[in-house]
Amino acid sequence: MKNSDVKEIYNFVDEIISTQKSCCTKGCSYCCHQQIEVQNIEKRVITNYIKDNLEEQTKDVIRKDLEVWLDYFDQNTPDDKILTSKDVFIDFRNKSAKVGLKCPFLINNACSIYPMRPQACRIHIVEENPQLCNESKLRDSTKFAREIKDTLVEDLKKREQISIEPLAYVVKDIFLPERKLKPMEKVVL
């Protein structure tokens, strides 16, 4: 899929989500303290944005935060096997949310890649009481938002295979090219 196709999807999602009631505001970053998943079709547009738009100072901050994220990931996932989707997207997600592990791209309560943030971030909205997000980092987005996500995934799967991986895995080569990652099975939706 071309970058322009992914950007069209992002615009479509943003337009639909903007019509929904939401208590989400700039500076509210509770949902940025959970694991972010990225679809394979998004990898290129996100990495290109980072390479073309972020200043070195911002990249240095992200690099340090990414290292913290990966260290915590390595300490809290199995060492003796190829990681499964359960290991990564259920068990680790729950552990990291309990400690409030932040997304490496969150700087001063703002997303440093906001124009090209992943679809998962774009679709995650809640309607009321953001304090509940602080109490539960894994708070579900609205039913409407979840339905939009499911519909998009089903539509995309008709065009090509859709897989997901943690955002940290997607950007590791940009920031920490020498760092070894734990092997993870391909998670196909």
- Residues 64-123 have pLDDT tens digits of 999 999 999 999 999 999 999 999 999 999 999 889 899 999 999 999 999 999 999 888
Predicted local distance difference test score (pLDDT) of residue 23: 64
Task: Give the 3-state secondary structure of residue 53.
Answer: helix
DSSP letter (8 states) at residue 24: -
- The model's pTM: 0.89
Q: How many domains does the chain have?
A: 1
CA distance 111 to 106: 5
Give the pairing of strands 106-107 and 163-166.
unpaired
pLDDT above 80 (res 163): yes
Locate 149 and state its tokens. Answer: 């996500």
pLDDT above 90 (res 34): no
Range of the domain at 47: 3-188
Q: Nearest Cα to 72, choosing from 182, 153, 185?
A: 182
Per-residue model confidence as pLDDT tens digits over 36-57: 999 999 999 999 999 999 999 9
Q: Nearest Cα to 170, choosing from 93, 69, 90, 76?
A: 69
Beta-bridge partner residues of 37: 166
